[in-house]
């Protein structure tokens, strides 16, 4: 039975009646209802307006969970009267494509996991909200990609109110035990803290907050690589294609989980935590004889055209993994327009685009 919950609807006007649903992609939600619940009274003209969400706690054993393109999870109790035609009885015994709780469908089961850790500052609220939009509409069946915003300890009264609100709403923030900094140990604290947090990923990424990653291309690039002793990114210097020459640029690089655990336990990293953070990663790995599997993501990772270091930049290309140096909204708009990220927006009587 539904015990507690906060329900928010827009334009659909359903009542819960014991049902538990979380959704964002309304078109897929309608298709799943029709396919699994066999309730065809829900008209397309209604459902496509319902950019709704429900935040609930449920202990209903008949609820099922399905991941839909990484955008949300659906909790559907198929005995709920709201999803059954009048005078008909529906139960959960029919064949369904819904999976067991907390499992993905077999055809959408990702083969590996990535933590995208965006190192930023606590007071950059608007930037986080914008990044949640541009990353929140992305998904890939190839990998589970978790987006987390990473910064040091809170130090202002407004942060102690607004950041907890973000955590309650989005649960996508990691607060490190450090004073805010860029090159005085923050990156070391980030990597060395992760194994103590109950987290585990195949790859952990440190990325800037002025870079745009495309999930599909990132997953395609990482998928065939070794899951151990792997160091991946945009090799420095910009002119080089040799991933063993120096180090990967701080715009965004990935370490396999064993290297994250090694950083936590290594005196090499602990004793050299202050300095240019991306350069230090290369120094640690070289001195520790680690990162024997190194991969350069050029030319699919690059700086925005016309950026301050010409050798690191080039024109936008279709096979892009990531674009860096998006220092203002005009650059963001150009990138998002080039990749046509709003192509999938639904038509609606509620707006004119």
DSSP assignment of 223-235, as one string?
TTS-SSSEEEE-E
Report percent pLDDT > 70 for the chain. 69
Q: Averaged over 53-60, what is the pLDDT?
A: 34
Number of neighbouring beta carbons within 10 Å of residue 135: 19
183 burial level (CB within 10 Å; 0-12, 13-18, 19+): middle
**Residue 106 pLDDT > 60:** no
The predicted structure's pLDDT at residue 110 = 81
Question: Which residues share a beta bridge with 301?
Answer: 322
- Residue 207 makes CB contacts below 8 A (sequence gap 6+) with 116, 117, 118, 119, 213, 251, 252, 322
**Residue 165 pLDDT > 50:** yes
**Residue 236 pLDDT > 50:** yes
The predicted structure's pLDDT at residue 115 = 98
pLDDT band at residue 46 using 50, 70 and 90 as cut-offs = very low
More confident residue, 148 or 87: 148
Number of neighbouring beta carbons within 10 Å of residue 153: 12
Cα gap 301→308, rounded to integer Å: 16
Question: Which residues share a beta bridge with 334?
Answer: none
Cα gap 324→303, rounded to integer Å: 4
**Residue 51 pLDDT > 50:** no
The two beta strands, 203-207 and 252-256, are: antiparallel
């Amino acid at each position: 039975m539904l015990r507690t919950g906060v329900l928010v609807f827009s334009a659909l006007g359903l009542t819960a009646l014991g049902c538990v649903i979380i959704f964002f992609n309304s078109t897929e939600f309608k298709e799943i209802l029709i396919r699994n619940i066999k309730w065809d009274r829900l008209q397309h003209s209604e459902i496509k307006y319902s950019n709704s969400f429900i935040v609930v706690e449920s202990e209903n054993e008949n609820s099922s969970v399905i991941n839909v393109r990484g955008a949300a999870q659906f909790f559907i109790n198929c005995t709920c009267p709201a999803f059954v035609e009048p005078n008909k009885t529906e139960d959960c015994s029919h064949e369904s494509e819904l999976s067991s709780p907390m499992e993905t469908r077999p055809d959408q089961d990702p083969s590996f996991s990535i933590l995208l850790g965006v190192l930023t500052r606590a007071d950059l609220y608007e930037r986080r909200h914008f990044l949640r939009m541009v990353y929140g509409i992305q998904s890939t069946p190839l990998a589970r990609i978790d987006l987390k915003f990473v910064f040091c300890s809170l130090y202002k009264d407004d942060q102690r109110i607004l950041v907890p609100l973000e955590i309650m709403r989005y649960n996508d923030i990691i607060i490190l035990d450090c004073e805010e900094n860029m090159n005085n140990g923050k990156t070391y604290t980030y990597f060395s803290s992760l194994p103590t947090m109950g987290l585990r990923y195949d790859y952990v990424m440190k990325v800037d907050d002025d870079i745009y990653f495309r999930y599909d291309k990132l997953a395609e690039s990482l998928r065939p690589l070794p899951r151990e002793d792997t160091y991946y990114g945009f090799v420095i210097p910009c002119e080089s294609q040799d991933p063993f020459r120096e180090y990967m640029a701080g715009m965004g690089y990935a370490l396999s989980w064993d290297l994250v655990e090694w950083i936590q336990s290594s005196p090499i990293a602990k004793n050299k935590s202050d300095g240019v953070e991306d350069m230090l990663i290369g120094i640690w790995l070289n001195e520790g004889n680690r990162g024997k599997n190194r991969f350069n993501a050029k030319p699919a990772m690059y700086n925005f055209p016309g950026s301050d270091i010409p050798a690191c930049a080039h024109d936008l290309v279709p096979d892009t993994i990531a674009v860096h140096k998006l220092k203002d909204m005009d650059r963001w708009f150009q990138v998002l327009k080039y990749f046509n990220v709003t192509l999938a927006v639904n038509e609606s009587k509620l707006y004119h685009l």
